[in-house]
């Protein structure tokens, strides 16, 4: 819980970006960004193929993110829909 408390204490997008750049590799950051964009596009009603073509992710990633949106705890959907 200490990590989550530390993240919750970040105040600005710039602080979050700096933190994640420090703690994640470039590949890990890219994966997170791809999943975020995939979630946004799924919430907008885009098809799997449209997302695969636009984001350059595999159908496995699209399916995994879709499963989280459908059956997860709701936090991802809430953040995505709140940001639109």
Is 83's pLDDT higher than 70? no
Confidence of residue 48 (pLDDT cuts 50, 70, 90): very high
Asked if 68 contacts 76 with a C-beta cutoff of 8 angstroms, the reply is yes
Segment 32-43 shows an average pLDDT of 97
pLDDT above 70: percentage of residues in the chain: 98
**CA 80 to CA 71: how far, in whole Å?**
15
State the average pLDDT for the chain: 96
DSSP state of 31: H
Q: What is the pLDDT of residue 29?
A: 97
- pLDDT at 33 exceeding the cut of 70: yes
């Amino acid at each position: 819980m200490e990590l989550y408390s530390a993240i919750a204490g970040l105040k600005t997008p710039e602080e979050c970006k700096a933190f994640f750049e420090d703690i994640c590799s470039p590949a890990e950051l890219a994966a997170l960004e791809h999943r975020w964009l995939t979630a946004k596009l799924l919430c907008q009603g885009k098809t799997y193929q449209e997302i695969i073509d636009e984001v350059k992710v595999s159908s496995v990633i699209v399916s995994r993110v879709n499963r989280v949106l459908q059956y997860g705890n709701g936090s991802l959907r809430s953040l995505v829909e709140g940001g639109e």
